């Protein structure tokens, strides 16, 4: 299995710690793997405009997220 060394600032490390504690992810690496898988899914299943919309149950757009 390939290994990577990535330097993160303290804020990002804190975010990884919080996500590890508040989700069912077992490790920080698991959080990162899931984030990459989610990003891949969103990019490959988008409408081509690289935008994801968060809506409420009535279909009202609450927020648009533009993917790079």
Q: Quick check: 62 and 56 in contact, CB under 8 A?
A: yes
Give pLDDT, residue 43: 81
Per-residue pLDDT of 3-54, as tens digits, reads 999 999 999 999 999 999 999 999 999 999 999 998 888 888 765 677 888 9
CA end-to-end distance (rounded Å), the chain: 28
pTM for the model: 0.74
Q: Which helix (H) or strand (E) holds 45?
A: none
Q: Quick check: 35 and 41 in contact, CB under 8 A?
A: no
């Amino acid at each position: 299995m390939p290994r990577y060394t990535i330097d993160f600032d303290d804020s990002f490390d804190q975010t990884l710690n919080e996500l590890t504690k508040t989700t069912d992810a077992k490790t920080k690496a698991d959080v990162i793997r899931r984030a990459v898988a989610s990003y891949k899914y969103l990019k490959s299943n988008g409408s081509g405009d690289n935008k994801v919309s968060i809506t409420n149950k009535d279909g009202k757009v609450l927020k648009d997220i533009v993917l790079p």
